Structure 1
Amino acid sequence: MPALTTPLSRSDVRTLALASLGGALEFYDFVIFAFFAKVIAAHFFPPSQAEWLRQTQTFGLFGAGYLARPLGGVVMAHFGDLLGRKRMFTLSVLLMALPTLAIGLLPDFATLGLSAPLALLALRIAQGVAIGGEAPGGWVFVAEHAGPRRTGTACGLLSAGLTAGILLGALVSLILHGAMTEATIADWGWRVPFVIGGVFGLLAMVLRRWLRETPVFVALHEQGEQAREMPMVLLLRHHRRAIVLSMVGTWTLTAAIIVLLLMMPALLQTLHHIPAGATLRANLAGTCALTLGTGLAGIASDRWGMRRVLPPVCLLLVIGSYALYGVAPAYPALLVPCAVLAGLGGSYVGLLPVAMVRAFPAAVRFSGLSLSYNVAYAIFGGLTPAALSALVPHAGLAPAHYVALAAVAGFMAVWRMPRSEQP
Structure 2
Amino acid sequence: MTSLLMAVGTFGVGFLFRPLGAIVIGTYADRVGRRAAMTLSIWLMAAGMVMIAACPPYRVAGIAAPIAILVGRLLQGLAAGGEIGAAAAYVMEAAPHARRGYVVSWQLVGAAASPLMGALLGLLLSSRLSAASLAAWGWRIPFLIGLLILPLGWYVRQRLPEDPVHPAARSGGRVALVELFRSHGKLLALATLTVAGRAVPAYTVSYFMPTYLTHVMHLPAMVGFLASAVSAIVLMLAAPLSGLLADRLQRRKPLLLVASGVTTLLIYPVFHFITRTPDTATVLAGVALISAFVAPCSSVGTVLVLEALPAEVRARGLAFSFALGVALFGATAQPIVTSLIQWSGNPMAAAWYAAPACLVSFCALLFFPERRRER
TM-score, reference length from structure 2: 0.92
CA displacement at 1:228 relative to structure 2: 7.3
Asked if the contact 2:48/2:72 (under 8 Å) is kept, the reply is yes
Alignment-derived partner of residue 193 in structure 1 = 142
Alignment-derived partner of residue 240 in structure 1 = 185
Q: Distance in 2 between matches of 1:203 and 1:355?
A: 30
Sequence identity percentage: 29
Q: Are positions 1:280 and 2:225 aligned together?
A: yes
Q: Which secondary structure does the structure 2 equivalent of 1:107 belong to? A: coil
Q: Which of residues 359, 365, 370 is equivalent to 1:414?
A: 365
**Number of equivalences:** 368
Q: Which secondary structure does the structure 1 equivalent of 2:275 belong to? A: coil
Alignment-derived partner of residue 345 in structure 1 = 293
Asked if the contact 1:98/1:198 (under 8 Å) is kept, the reply is no
Q: Distance in 1 between matches of 2:17 and 2:227?
A: 30
Deviates more, 1:226-235 or 1:259-268: 226-235
Alignment-derived partner of residue 355 in structure 2 = 404
1:14-73 Cα offsets, whole Å, 9 max, x none, are xxxxxxxxxxxxxxxxxxxxxxxxxxxxxxxxxxxxxx2122112111111000111111
TM-score, reference length from structure 1: 0.82
Q: Which of residues 241, 256, 263 is equivalent to 1:296?
A: 241
Q: Distance in 1 between matches of 2:44 and 2:26?
A: 15
Q: Distance in 1 between matches of 2:293 and 2:73?
A: 29
The one-letter amino acid paired with 1:373 is F
Q: Distance in 2 between matches of 1:383 and 1:224?
A: 36
Q: Distance in 2 between matches of 1:189 and 1:324?
A: 33
1:175-226 Cα offsets, whole Å, 9 max, x none, are 223333344323321110011102333321222111112322xx2x1x4662
Compared with structure 1, are the counterparts of its residues 290 and 316 closer, same or farther at alpha carbon in structure 2 (3 Å cutoff)?
farther
Q: Which secondary structure does the structure 1 equivalent of 2:160 belong to? A: coil
Summarize the alignment of residues 324-339 of structure 1 with structure 2, pairs less than 5 Å apart. 324-333=270-279, 334-339=282-287
Deviates more, 1:177-186 or 1:134-143: 177-186
CA displacement at 1:104 relative to structure 2: 1.7
Q: Which of residues 114, 129, 144 is equivalent to 2:93?
A: 144
Provide the alpha-carbon RMSD of the alignment. Answer: 2.0
Q: Which secondary structure does the structure 2 equivalent of 1:215 belong to? A: coil
1:77-113 Cα offsets, whole Å, 9 max, x none, are 1111111111001211111112213212212333333
The one-letter amino acid paired with 2:246 is S
Compared with structure 1, are the counterparts of its residues 233 and 422 closer, same or farther at alpha carbon in structure 2 (3 Å cutoff)?
farther
Asked if the contact 1:101/1:199 (under 8 Å) is kept, the reply is no
Asked if the contact 1:251/1:406 (under 8 Å) is kept, the reply is yes
Summarize the alignment of residues 141-290 of structure 1 with structure 2, pairs less than 5 Å apart. 141-216=90-165, 219=166, 221=167, 223=168, 226-227=171-172, 229-290=174-235
CA displacement at 1:318 relative to structure 2: 2.8
Q: Distance in 2 between matches of 1:63 and 1:97?
A: 18
Alignment-derived partner of residue 256 in structure 2 = 310
CA displacement at 1:327 relative to structure 2: 1.1
Q: Are positions 1:93 and 2:42 aligned together?
A: yes
Compared with structure 1, are the counterparts of its residues 242 and 113 closer, same or farther at alpha carbon in structure 2 (3 Å cutoff)?
same
The one-letter amino acid paired with 1:165 is S
Segments of 5+ residues of structure 2 without an aligned counterpart are none
